[in-house]
Structure 1
């Protein structure tokens, strides 16, 4: 799949996605304000060519939660609203802004934190950072998260090599219909 086609699909779907989901974004922002006082969560992540960018999500954990990978976070930090947002994947909707800005794609490797050195090394050795990070991808629909750095990097590499228009839409549809559980948290 070429970059121009991917970018065109990403832009159009993010643009129309933001228009269609605007009422949901507004409602969740208001409810989130009463839940945590700060409904939007912005965190610096590793982007294409290891360039930093600010990932935008709805906040699902308390404001004082330590900035670590989801699999290292304690589930006790997840708020009541956060549980619903994670399960429904609504917490990911603000990333449409990242896609619209060209910092992310709908399909690509999930962007990691800069302190995830083992994952950065595994992904670097497989040229995973040569593409835009994504909202979803092959690893996500197969329940492979950042707690398995080598397997995740291998799966990301496989996805990058085999991405087609069909797979692009397949991963999006699988994610929207509930395949994959997202990044796990410690219980």
Structure 2
């Protein structure tokens, strides 16, 4: 049922967002050198690595680490990078990952391939058995500000409470948070 919901919503969202996606792609292309998309190696279901696309918001010479680990993340942003991140427009290409079945709309956010502490704790708690999500229970309860143990605790709570109604609640909260740009530090 969840996969069918993801497919239907991703197809509808893609149809409605095709023009904004094209505008953002053009804006990225015109404001900084390099490709429009950044393909990030992420940890998916059962800890398999998959390639997740995002609109590129960082310069092409940025180190491949989580943004919060950079000494001065703002120095690596493209001219429109901050806007893309704060508006969450950089996430739009992840509709492709949902259509492919690498991601779901709701689940734990996919870890970077080198976030070993997060991956190990999620595996210990069984969170690795779920598809990663575009948004999740941890994202609507703190996003970038959460320490890893608290993030995994919320991911575990989601694992135990999974349902269509809970997913709809998380999607609703996500939409509200995106509109007010709550929880985005870079």
TM-score, normalisation: structure 2 = 0.91
1:49 is matched with 46
Match for 2:183 among 177, 181, 184? 181
Write out per-residue CA displacement over residues 73-127 of structure 1, whole angstroms, 9 at most, x where no aligned residue. Answer: 3222122311111111111111000000000000000001121111111111101
RMSD (CA atoms): 1.5
Q: Where does structure 1 differ by over 4 angstroms across 4 or more consecutive aligned residues? A: none
TM-score, normalisation: structure 1 = 0.91
2:141 is matched with 142
2:89 is matched with 90
CA-CA distance at 1:133 after TM superposition: 0.2
1:60 is matched with 57
SS at structure 2 position matched to 1:63: coil
SS at structure 2 position matched to 1:75: helix
SS at structure 1 position matched to 2:80: helix
- Unaligned stretches of 5+ residues in structure 1: none
SS at structure 2 position matched to 1:135: strand
Aligned residues of 1:126 and 1:157 also touching (Cα < 8 A): yes
- Does 2:41 correspond to 1:39? no
Write out per-residue CA displacement over residues 145-180 of structure 1, whole angstroms, 9 at most, x where no aligned residue. Answer: 386221111110101111221210111121122264
Q: Distance in 2 between matches of 1:87 and 1:145?
A: 12
SS at structure 1 position matched to 2:138: helix
Aligned residues of 1:144 and 1:151 also touching (Cα < 8 A): no
Q: Distance in 2 between matches of 1:77 and 1:13?
A: 33
- Unaligned stretches of 5+ residues in structure 2: none
Count residues with an aligned counterpart: 180
Aligned residues of 1:69 and 1:112 also touching (Cα < 8 A): no
CA-CA distance at 1:181 after TM superposition: 1.9
CA-CA distance at 1:143 after TM superposition: 1.1
